[in-house]
Structure 1
């Protein structure tokens, strides 16, 4: 959502510990790259503090997020095969993920030509806190069990 729509609905939050939050987390977990992007945005925004000009661009995501994906390996001039490799995110993949997070109202953007600076919404921050709580709880269960 753009910044005007964000300002209009920024006070709308998820109910605490709701099934709705769990549903959003499950949607994010189905796409490992989307989860990495979401967590990276949250991490960078929390490190930047409250500075409103600390948004991320698609280029920041491409340069800093690596995913495991199939990469074409050339055998000779006509033959090739695909192998798993850890490489940077493709621009199209990053744009698709940002569009999904935007539609889910977990992020918003501020347009400053030629860039769009990306920020987490309050709902996005809520979801990130919930994800961290669940991961911590899961680690504790694994250590005790």
Structure 2
């Protein structure tokens, strides 16, 4: 979402049905929740992240190939590594279409900020995690 659209609907809150829909959508993929939480923590600390900064900070389990020096075979192990920039951009687009984040443009950077609806969903997430 662009900043101009964010300002137009800045005070709009989500109904309980929409909150439950968004919770179901976010619970399908843990990376969505990780990205949203990381953005919220950054905004709370007065940091706005760029796409590449988010990609460096967020880690996910991935298959990583390692060569065995003796047998010269490739073995794949699951390791926590940073996600790539394209995957981060797709997640940010998804969260933006949901209205949970918006972008501010400070050339040459595109910074990511969280909306009030994003904070509202994070509060519901934290209550759900406590139960």
Deviation at 1:79, TM superposition (A): 4.7
**Contiguous gaps of at least 5 residues in structure 2:** none
- Measured in 2, the distance between the counterparts of 1:92 and 1:79 equals 29
Q: Secondary structure at the match of 1:11?
A: coil
Deviation at 1:80, TM superposition (A): 2.8
Deviation at 1:47, TM superposition (A): 2.8
1:103-142 CA-partner distances (Å, limit 9, x unpaired): 1111000011221110001110110111111112x1xxxx
**Contiguous gaps of at least 5 residues in structure 1:** 49-53, 139-145
TM-score by structure 1 length?
0.81
Q: Counterparts in 2 of 1:1-145, with a 5 A limit? A: 1-15=1-15, 18-48=16-46, 54-75=47-68, 79-136=73-130, 138=131
Deviation at 1:81, TM superposition (A): 4.0
- Measured in 1, the distance between the counterparts of 2:45 and 2:125 equals 18
Number of residues paired by the alignment? 130
- Measured in 2, the distance between the counterparts of 1:93 and 1:81 equals 24
- Measured in 1, the distance between the counterparts of 2:75 and 2:95 equals 33
TM-score by structure 2 length?
0.89
Deviation at 1:14, TM superposition (A): 0.7
1:54-83 CA-partner distances (Å, limit 9, x unpaired): 32111221221111112233347x853432
